[in-house]
Amino acid sequence: MHEAGLEPWLAGLRKGLSGVSGKRRESVVAEIAGDLELRMRSSGVDADSFVAGLEDPRALGRALRAVHGLSWWRYVIAYLLALPLGLLSVPLDSVLQWWPSTLMLALLLALTLRSGARGGRIHGLLVGLTGALPRIIVLLLITGLLGELDQGYGIAEVPGGTIAFVVLTSLMIPLFGFFATGRLRQ
C-alpha cells in the first residue's frame, strides 16, 4: 500500500494510463509510487505539499501510455471495425443512396482519428489503411463487374465523380490517422 496522500494522485495517473494492459499499468504505477515515496521521505515534506508540487497525473499517464502502448485487444477491435466500415462506405448510387455510405465514411474517419490519437501514428495509419484498401478493392470490383455486364451499351457505369470521391477519401483517411497524434483532446 502506498502513502495515503499519494493515492488521489496515483488514481489520476491510472486514469491517464487507461487503455494500457492491467499488469503493465499497475507495474508502471507501482514503480512511480515507489519513486515518489522515496523522494517524499528524503525531502522531509508532508504528502499534501509534495503532491502539490507534482505535475498533472493524467498528462503524465497519457505520455506514458504513448510509451507503453495500448492493450493488444484494442488494436484488434479497431482493425476489425475498420474493415466493414470501409466496405460499407463505398457509395453505390443505384443500390443505396449516399447518406448511408457517408455515415459509414464518417464513422471510419472517427475511428481512424481516435486510433491515431490514442495508439500513435502507426496505429492510426494502419487503421486508416485497413478501412481504405477495401474501398478501393470494392470500387475496382464494381467498376469491372459493371463493365462486363454492360458490354459497351453505356447503361450501367460508375460515375467519374464517384470514382474520384472514393479514391481521394481513401487516400486521405490513412493520412488523417497518421497526423492525428496529439491533435485530439484525450
Q: How far is CA 75 from the centre of its chain?
A: 8
Answer for the pair 135, 169: CB distance below 8 angstroms, yes or no: yes
Question: Rounded to two decimals, what is the model's pTM?
Answer: 0.66
Question: pLDDT tens digits, residue range 24-82?
Answer: 888 999 999 888 888 888 888 887 788 888 888 888 888 888 777 777 788 889 999 99
Domain ranges of the chain: 4-68, 72-179
Mean pLDDT of 109-135: 90
Spatial distance between the Cα atoms of 147 and 158, rounded to a whole number of angstroms: 9
Question: pLDDT tens digits, residue range 130-170?
Answer: 999 999 998 888 877 776 666 666 556 666 777 888 889 99
